[in-house]
Amino acid sequence: MTTKKNTPPRLSERGVVSVEQSHRSISYNGPQLLNVEAVARTLSIGERQVWRLMATGELPTVSIGRRRLVTATDVQAFIEARREGGAR
């Protein structure tokens, strides 16, 4: 006979998740947030340039505490707005 750990159930947006359910199976479908380093890597530019784009408002940010993050959707929109040639 197996014994269960005395662990409280985890919470989700829909309510209580069973203790047996792995935390890896809970998914989040909201926007992916990228830090300055990840944005710089994605755009193939330096972190300073990312900070400039955020300061001028060309790249919208989300502030969480002291962190400034950018949604993956906003990075994609930034790229699409600067695409040259081809169908739009």
- Joined tokens for residue 74: 């906003």
Residue 50: phi, psi to the nearest 5? -60, -45
Return per-residue pLDDT of the chain as tens, 88 residues.
Answer: 555 556 555 554 445 444 455 555 666 777 899 999 999 999 999 999 999 999 999 999 999 999 999 999 999 999 999 998 765 5
Checking DSSP bridges between strand 67-71 and strand 62-64, what pairing results, if any?
antiparallel
Identify the CATH number of the domain defined by range 30-88: 1.10.10
Q: Where are the beta strands (DSSP E) in the chain?
A: 10-12, 15-17, 33-34, 62-64, 67-71
The whole-model pTM stands at 0.64
- Joined tokens for residue 28: 């989040």
